[in-house]
Amino acid sequence: MSSAPAIESATPVNTGAASRVVSIDIFRGLTMAVMIFVNALADGAHGLPWWTYHAHADWDTMTYVDMVFPFFLFIVGMSLPLSVQQRLKRGSIAGLWLHVVIRSLSLLVLGLILANSERADPSRMGVDGSVWALLGLIGAGLFLNVYPKSERFRNYARLLRVAGLVAVVVAFAIFRRTTHAGRGAWIDFSYPEILGLIAFAYFAAAILYIPTRRWRWAAPVWFALLVLLNAGCAARVFGLPLHVPIYFWPFDNGAHASIVMAGVVTSQIFLRALPGADERLSAKASTVSAIGFALIAFFAGWLATPLGISKIRATPTWSLWSVGAAVLVFTLLYRICDQYRRTAWAFLLRPAGANTLLTYLLPDFCAYLFGAVGFTWLDTHFNFGWPGVAKTTAFTLFILAIASLLTRAKLRLQL
């Protein structure tokens, strides 16, 4: 999913700075790489230790795989204050809210395409689910692509975006599935995939952050209140959020929105992303503050362990421990990449982080393309143990390389 994903780019807020915050791109790219790896590993490699997969819903534990999604949410929050400032410099508050709504809806639509591809019924649609998903993704790509300006063909970008939007509308219009009762049905909205969950968490955090963005302590207070909401839901003290569809209550049980808000807090610690704020904290002060924030998150997560530890159940300990880990990883990357300017090692990660939405969709695009042409080799070979790990590693590097080449070719998706 912005970005996941934190899809939107971020730029420093100090006056006159035109370069990107490199550590945000690299953190986003690193998260993308791990996501591609663990998703491919789950589908194509069996017989590995339990901690190499997602923990089951009835387990009270979490693995490193369970922290990939929270890292996406965290980086969405880190980018939020920066993107809000940039948007307000170029337009009005009404334009900002329109952007938030369109961005959330775009992520939701993409999530629904990914979530429904396997539910498509070719006998009712006339096309295979893989072909249907390709139509939707290609259309979305045409609509979301950032086109270079052309003096000769000034309207070509508008025409391609209209064609892409039409393709997405057609894809949704022709979709049909068969329910367990044997009846035909339209799109299944019950699970909007990771991109859809990111859309709701982003929208919920924006509702809280944008009106209170000028208040210095607003983000930490919102984070604490969302954690309390999460704890109250886990303890069954608050029943209402558990029975209201996420489409009407984007905060859900508070876990996902709290992780996004933790990213906002971290962004303020390092980048001082506040209107009219003073200069940024010194390197030492920001590092100490960030480590302190991470330790508080770890300690609060430990206190909440009686409520369970589970990504599937979105418990407070899972979200808080993920926040603590994300803060520490970003702190390290910020010192290495932005303060010491050591970035050459991340040559494959930076394009993935700068062009996140394209990179996120590439593995699914490949899977649908392989399904449409009947290519099954990856599913039937090297799918057990360490050979499966080697195959998954090669696939991850392949996707990162393709993302880098497409980024250099000026193919960039942006919400």
pLDDT in tens, 158-190: 999 999 999 999 999 999 999 999 999 999 999
pLDDT value, residue 279: 64
187-217: pLDDT as tens digits: 999 999 999 999 999 999 999 999 999 888 9
58-83: pLDDT as tens digits: 899 999 999 999 999 999 999 999 89
pLDDT value, residue 216: 84
Q: Any idea how long the chain is?
A: 415
185 phi/psi in degrees, rounded to 5:
-150, 165
pLDDT value, residue 346: 93
143-161: pLDDT as tens digits: 999 998 877 777 889 999 9
- Rounded to whole angstroms, how far apart are CA atoms 262 and 318? 14
Kindly list the distances between the CA atom of residue 89 and the CA atoms of 12, 19, 96, 281, 310, in Å, as whole numbers in the listed order: 14, 17, 10, 23, 41
**Are the C-beta atoms of residues 298 and 309 closer than 8 Å to each other?**
no
- Rounded to whole angstroms, how far apart are CA atoms 291 and 269? 11
181 phi/psi in degrees, rounded to 5:
-85, 0
pLDDT value, residue 7: 47
Widest pairwise Cα distance in the chain: 65
Q: Where are the domains of the chain?
A: 22-408
pLDDT value, residue 4: 41
pLDDT value, residue 9: 41
- Rounded to whole angstroms, how far apart are CA atoms 110 and 293? 34
pLDDT value, residue 154: 76
pLDDT greater at residue 89 or residue 231: 231
- Rounded to whole angstroms, how far apart are CA atoms 15 and 295? 32
- Rounded to whole angstroms, how far apart are CA atoms 365 and 139? 12
Kindly list the distances between the CA atom of residue 39 and the CA atoms of 236, 291, 367, in Å, as whole numbers in the listed order: 32, 30, 12
| SS3 per-residue string spanning the chain | CCCCCCCCCCCCCCCCCCCCCHHHHHHHHHHHHHHHHHHHHHHHCECCCHHHCCCCCCCCCCCHHHHHHHHHHHHHHHHHHHHHHHHHHHCCHHHHHHHHHHHHHHHHHHHHHHHHHHHECHHHHCCCHHHHHHHHHHHHHHHHECCCCCCCCCCHHHHHHHHHHHHHHHHHHHCCEECCCCCEECCCCCCCHHHHHHHHHHHHHHHHHHHHCCCCCHHHHHHHHHHHHHHHHHCCCCCHHHHCCCCCCCCCCCHHHHHHHHHHHHHHHHHCCCCCCCCCCCHHHHHHHHHHHHHHHHHHHHHCHHHCCCCCCCCHHHHHHHHHHHHHHHHHHHHHHHHCCCCHHHCCHHHHHHCHHHHHHHHHHHHHHHHHHCCCHHHHCCCEHHHHHHHHHHHHHHHHHHHHHHHHCCCCECC
- CA Rg value for the chain: 21
**Are the C-beta atoms of residues 50 and 357 closer than 8 Å to each other?**
no
- Rounded to whole angstroms, how far apart are CA atoms 130 and 372? 6
Q: Which residues pair with 413 in a beta bridge?
A: 145
244-284: pLDDT as tens digits: 889 999 999 999 999 999 999 999 998 875 544 556 667 78
Kindly list the distances between the CA atom of residue 176 and the CA atoms of 112, 160, 185, 187, 262, in Å, as whole numbers in the listed order: 13, 26, 6, 7, 39
pLDDT value, residue 20: 64
Vertex 344, ends 338 and 348: CA angle to 5°?
A: 105
28-67: pLDDT as tens digits: 999 999 999 999 998 878 888 989 899 998 899 999 999 9
Structure tokens at 19: 């370069």
Nearest in space to 80 (alpha carbons), one of 196, 192, 197, 204: 204
- Rounded to whole angstroms, how far apart are CA atoms 328 and 293? 9
